Amino acid sequence: MLKGNGISDGIGLGKVILLKKEKIKPEKIKIDNVEAEKEIFQKALKAVEEETASLVEKLTGTEKEIMQAYLMILQDPNLVEETIKIIEQEKCNAAYGVDKGFQKIIKMFEEIDDPYMAARSRDIADMKKKVLNKILNKEEINLSKLPPNSILVTKELTTSDTAKLDLKNIEGIITEEGGANSHMAIMARTHGIPAVGGIKQAMGQMQENDFIAMNGGTGEVFINPSEEECTRLREIKEKLKWEKEQLENYKNEKSMTKDGHQVELLANIGGVQDVSIALKNTAEGIGLFRSEFLYMDSEDFPTEKEQFEAYKKVAEKMPNQKIIIRTLDIGGDKELKYMKLPKEKNPFLGYRAIRIYLDNIPLFKVQLRAILRASHYGNLAIMLPMISSLEELREAKQIIEEVKEELRNKQVPFQEDIEVGIMIEIPSAAILAEELAKECDFFSIGTNDLIQYTVAVERGNEKVANLYSHFHPAVIRLIKYVIESAHKNHILCGMCGEAAGDLAFIPLLVGLGLDEFSMNANKILGARKLIRELNFEDCKKLADTVLKLSTTDEIKKVLHSIEFC
């Protein structure tokens, strides 16, 4: 049995398809007919371009936008000109010209001190390989036509790979690299495909057509498993299937405990394309619209019109529900290729989110105008990220009022009483919660950052990952104080971090009085089922017990021992 990182829940049983990514190093061959080699290159480039364009037509949402970016790479005149120049000057074969020409551009991007550009260099390398395969007549695995019950095993899946995947025939994905936040992992979770990452040398340990049984939840992978192991996993698979079917009964039900305490379950989304999943799972609203995805998926700052159209579409799709739009939360581990942010030794403690906006007020106003205009078409709310002080909140609210006045003067309709709330994700904001609550309309606790700032653990650092936990007593006590401060000042308190969707943590949050839980839309029905099996009074007693505990292990033990979890 091999053990990796479970990155998408579910059981997969099927035969291995090895997606090998061999390095192609063409030999340099002197040629006489330069024009013929240039034609070979142009023909191969056109073939890959046509295949990519055809793929773009079949995709939607973020995946479509990513593949459109790939198409732009293929159409980059610098790549074409550099390759043709090498073929002409060195009188060499097309394959060698492509290898050397593309590599020169790749190296240019790698040397730019910008993480996005480094990532784009890998995209160019991916395109280089596809063009070389055409020239050298090397066949690639057709990811759009896989045999039934395939377990795809590879070093890593590129963005173009995931866009092509034949999802209906994939039983599971196993990679040597790639974590829970990779594009592949997000895609697998969205489509319910079991996935395990971090299996070192997986390609060397598995062979084509090996039978594999895998558990995407635990990270276990069995090569040619015994009948006993298969039976155990099939039973788990049937149980998961049955549980999923049972959750259908909780669609459109109230998120209410047995003794009548009601909360709201909302969805986190990254764009318009995610609304359908929220609606399918009967989310009671959108608790976090990550507006930064509009910026990250664009070649330049999205215009006011582009943002307005996106926000308006979501508002129209969910006309009777609250939609909380978080203003641009960039910086830290999220960068924009076209925004030259300063390089920082510790970007998580640096120039990010509201700090950027208050330093770039025209940029802030563009987004605010788009949100306010779209608010005329639904129940939108504005949420400010990374607030650490009253001064920041007051300055941001003043700018919002200025934008409102500008729209009034132009007689542009908007929701006059639009709510303005803040993320509580910095300890200083949690400690100042009572004062902040007097000057905003709602709180949303962002546990992902609140944990890392409270316990001084970078959430992406594997070396200290064991210390990063929402079960930490200090984190729980901060959450308690934030909820109490909100209620004391008659405003709602929600949570949009990963902790909000953790079934073991939900009873505690109910007991602490959390009003709104915003999570991955696919988790909503499971959370609703759990909440309807709880008693609010019992949850309050549980919270009292947990608050007296002083270690993470003690708290985990208590919360994981609850019958429903």
Query: Catalytic annotation on 496?
Result: yes
Per-residue burial over 93-130, b = 16 or more CB atoms within 10 Å of its CB, e = otherwise: bbbbbbbbbbeebbeebeeeeeeeeeebbebbbbbbbb
Query: By C-alpha distance, which of 565, 558, 533 is closest to 544?
Result: 558
Which residue is listed with tokens 């979770």? Answer: 189
Q: Which residues contact 490 (CB under 8 A, 6 or more apart)?
A: none
Question: Phi and psi for 4 in degrees, rounded to 5?
Answer: -125, -155
Is the distance from CB of 393 to CB of 387 less than 8 angstroms? yes
- CA–chain centroid gap for 444, Å, is 19
261 is catalytic: no
What is the SS3 assignment for 449? helix
Distance CA 560, CA 557 (A): 5
Catalytic position from the list 230, 496, 539, 560 = 496
Report residue 154 CA to chain centroid gap. Answer: 21
Cα 195 to the chain's mean position, in Å? 15
- With CA atoms as reference, report the closest residue to 480 among 465, 467, 468, 495: 495
Asked whether the beta carbons of 314 and 323 are under 8 A apart, the reply is yes
Burial class (CB in 10 A: 0-12, 13-18, 19+), 549: middle
* DSSP result, 208-234: TT-EEEEETTTTEEEES--HHHHHHHH
The token duo for 41 is: 């290159």
Of 92, 183, 230, 560, the active-site residue reads 183
Token code pair at residue 423:
């993320």
Taking Cα atoms as reference points, which of 535, 555, 530 lies closest to residue 479?
555
Chain-centre distance for alpha carbon 250: 26
- Residues with a catalytic annotation lie at 183, 496
